[in-house]
Chains A and B, each alone.
Chain A
Amino acid sequence: MMHALENIRAAKLPRLAALVAAVAGLGLAGCDDHAGDPKMQIGANPILPAIQQYLMPPMRIAKAVGWGSDETPAATQGLQVHALATGLEHPRSLYVLPNGDVLVVESNGPKAPIYRPKDIITGWVQSFAGAKAKDANRITLLRGTNGDGTPEVRTVFLDHLNSPFGVALIGHELYVANTDGIVRYPYQDGQTSITAAGTKLTDLPGGPIDHHWTKALLASPDGSKLYVGVGSNSNVGENGIGAEYERAAIWEVDVASGAHRIFASGVRNPTGLQWEPETGKLWAIANERDEIGPDLVPDYLTSVRDGGFYGWPYSYYGQHLDPRIMPQRPDLVATAIAPDYALSSHVAPLGVAMYAGTELPANYRGGAFVSEHGSWNRTPLNGYKVVFVPFSAGKPSGPAQDVVTGFLDANNHARGRPVGLAVDRSGGLLIADDVGNAVWRVSSLKPGSAPKPAS
């Protein structure tokens, strides 16, 4: 009897151990899986593969190295790029005032809490990608007076903010969206700094977790409402559904009273809002969920319907169920709207600008520029560029085109990462770069002007 047991023990246990080791090894090796061509996931009907769940979710970051002295991003044919400002501290978003002054929001998120061992590792990995830069919490003003596109005036416009992101001017009132609330400041034309204390218009969902901290801001054309992009408090609800109260939503805030309602929900992280010039409809870019594969879920650009539900966290791209959320909500999923235009997976769109200017070639008019901050959990890397989505009759009308690239060097290290976009008064496209700590200006390559240096 004992001998039999000994035999079983001798034979089975090591074999089982070997099996477990093999399975574990398989799972880890499985990280380097086959990501499809991102082009298959651009446009109205992205191809969505089956969900993959990982033992070890792939992390593939681009190490932040910064720009060399003469390096700039590369612009597509007919365009050129030059630095409007360098030496900034983690510039995240841009806003152009009516007099042409450019506001650069230098900001970073609050410290992420550690709820699980994973959070320690994620924080450590992200520090290599330059995501843990100090939070300057200020807005810098740039003013170019002689029209050569290089600003002569650079002042601290507003200081001591709390992880600011969105800015909107209505009349002579400037609204700044901190991570935890919208603050109103009086603004006079030509002012280069604001010292007046602000008054709070409304609280926004902030800490203690504040997973997606950026609050995008857009004023309605009549100036009566502010639209606010409020990101989710988790990847897919893993901090509890209670932490998601009024998050993953686009708020409509009444400027007169500060009262708000949820304009649209189920948008995981709406990082940029714009009015489509032809139809006057609200459009948003959004960052979708992670850890279910290199090609899930595509980030997107979409028109936003009043009262619309866009799936998060229960479903993605319409009614594709996400098994990671329990209890499920089939009633909500049944109403989930599929977004209009996929940008492909994990590109992390963080800036959008509908183009109505005249500086750039005519084919850009009416379309949308989207900055793709770049992936951190996909091999090969995806994003790290500014693309253009052509529009016609108020809808995207073709594949996204690369407009500004070169943020990655030959070793896949990040010289910069594009974030906020804005169109300046003369029609140039401005790009905030939070790893290169610069603001780039894209303009038409004029005949006779010097060709841009190769980078």
Chain B
Amino acid sequence: MQQHATITEATFIHDANQRLARRPRGRPIHRMLVSFSVAYFAAALATDLAYWQMPDVMWERFSIWLIAAGLIVAGLATIAYAIDLAGGRRIDRPAWPRMVGYALAVLLALTNAFVHSRDGYTAVVPTGLTLSALVVVVLVLTALVARALTNRHQFGV
């Protein structure tokens, strides 16, 4: 019992400290939206790969809807980001490498949406597929760089 109370107390203090350090004004809205768009873009790469292996129009249609959905959610995420900034909510640090990486990925995805709107095979192979892969590569690199920088901050490297 005694032990349990201590743990709770310790956890609470730790949590409170961390929140205090990152300007505790609630959960950021944009973060969930960003995750959704990343999932859409990654899924589009999967359906592009499927189309490349077996050119059935179903896969191409999956891809363009996934990319379009990703772009719409990315647009919403941008609006949410502005609201989060204005409302003083917590923004993941460091902010600008994440922002630049994400913006680059969205720009590539936008280009990809146009390529995927072509008719037939060349809507995907080779340009569309390449762009879908690039979007995912940029997002993964952004996450890795952001994590590395976060760790450096935390451990004072």
Q: Please give the residue numbers on chain A whose beta carbons come within 8 Å of chain B beta carbons, in ascending order.
A: 2, 5-6, 9, 13-14, 16-17, 20-21, 23-24, 27, 53-57, 115-118, 234-240, 290-291, 313, 322-327
Contact = CB atoms under 8 A, between A and B. Distances in A.
A133 to B, nearest CB: 25
B111 A326 contact: no
Nearest to B134: A20
Contact of A2 (B56, B103, B114, B157): B157
A110 to B, nearest CB: 20
Contact of B120 (A55, A117, A324): A324
A20 B108 contact: yes
18 contacts: A13-B104, A17-B104, A20-B111, A23-B111, A54-B118, A116-B65, A118-B117, A236-B120, A238-B120, A240-B56, A290-B119, A291-B118, A322-B120, A323-B122, A324-B122, A326-B120, A326-B121, A327-B55
Contacts, number: 87
Nearest to A239: B57
Contacts of A235: 119-120
B120 A237 contact: yes
A238 B57 contact: yes
Looking at chain A's contact residues, the main secondary structure is loop
Given A53-B122, A56-B114, A20 B145 contact: no
Interface in B118-157: 118-123, 125, 145, 148-149, 152, 157
Interface string B33-72: 0000000000000000000000111001100110010000
Given A2-B157, A239-B57, A324 B114 contact: no
Given A14-B100, A323-B122, 17 more contacts: A2-B148, A6-B149, A13-B97, A17-B103, A23-B111, A53-B118, A54-B114, A57-B118, A116-B64, A117-B68, A235-B120, A240-B57, A290-B119, A291-B119, A324-B121, A324-B122, A325-B121
Interface of B: 55-57, 60-61, 64-65, 68, 97, 100-101, 103-104, 107-108, 110-111, 113-115, 117-123, 125, 145, 148-149, 152, 157
A422 B44 CA distance: 50
Looking at chain B's contact residues, the main secondary structure is helix
Given A27-B114, A55-B115, A117-B64, A17 B100 contact: yes
B119 A324 contact: yes
Contacts of A234: 119
A27 to B, nearest CB: 7
Nearest to A17: B104
Contacts of B110: 24
Nearest to A21: B107
B121 A116 contact: no
A21 B104 CA distance: 9
Given A5-B148, A117-B113, A20 B107 contact: yes
Closest 5 CB pairs of A and B: A324-B120, A326-B121, A238-B119, A55-B114, A118-B117
A279 B123 CA distance: 44
A57 B123 CA distance: 12
Contacts of B103: 17
B123 A27 contact: no
Contacts of B117: 57, 116-118
